[in-house]
Amino acid sequence: MTKPLVAVLSGAGISTDSGIPDYRGPGGLWRQDPEAEKLVTYEYYMGDPEIRRRSWRMRLGNQALGAEPNAAHRAVAELERSGIPVRVLTQNVDGLHQLAGMPARKVLELHGSTRGVVCTRCHARGPMEDALARVEAGEDDPPCLECGGILKPATVMFGERLDPVVLGEAAAISKACTVFLAVGSSLQVHPAAGLAGVAAEHGARLIVVNAEPTPYDELADEVIREPIGTALPARLRRLGEENDTEK
């Protein structure tokens, strides 16, 4: 029997147990400090050197770079190691799925990665840790070492388009999968959120694991409101057992 293809769309809620705050939740960063949103908005970042300096200072204290994967990330990687085909479509930029053991080629980072930087002029890339070392050494707005252009984190800022190639791959996986889990995502940020609808329309079993209601709950075959750190590992174990009984 053909093994199911499991797609996992992960949002900020999967990483809160790793100490990375949610952005839009009740205690989220954008609610606590609306000005902080300017630091990750492309127009403001490119047009205001002071915004860039503040952005780099914020990144010096970025908890995500020192965060460790939690039980939910590990459970996804364990399902993949069990032999079931798994693809991760993540809205997160923290790289924790890969650190948990998911092969990088099986993780699509829809909103980019905070672990790298990219030049806005020549598109040269490099590690975030190297850029932050330059900030710590006194460069408050480090330019690209290749061409002198403005460096930005390799994330998709507000006002930027998602990479059409990555989005196209994510859509293809959503159409082909047999099970689609939306985990820790408000399913309100498009176009990523729409992948849940694409999967359901193409016959996938849709499972939503999220603390708050989402716009796609009515389409879902199953909605789980319990804490992700315990609920997701338990649900993925059951998924593995279901596959074993179908062999």
**Which residue numbers are catalytic?**
111
Rounded CA gap, 88 and 174, in Å? Answer: 10
Q: Bridge partners of 206?
A: 180
> What is the CB neighbour count within 10 angstroms for residue 16?
20
Show the CA angle centred on residue 102, arms to residues 100 and 107, nearest 5°: 120
The torsion angles phi and psi of 147, rounded to 5 degrees, stand at -135, -5
> What is the CB neighbour count within 10 angstroms for residue 137?
8
Task: Please report the DSSP string for 93-138 in residue order.
Answer: -S-HHHHTT--GGGEEETTEEEEEEEETTT--EEEHHHHHHHHHTT
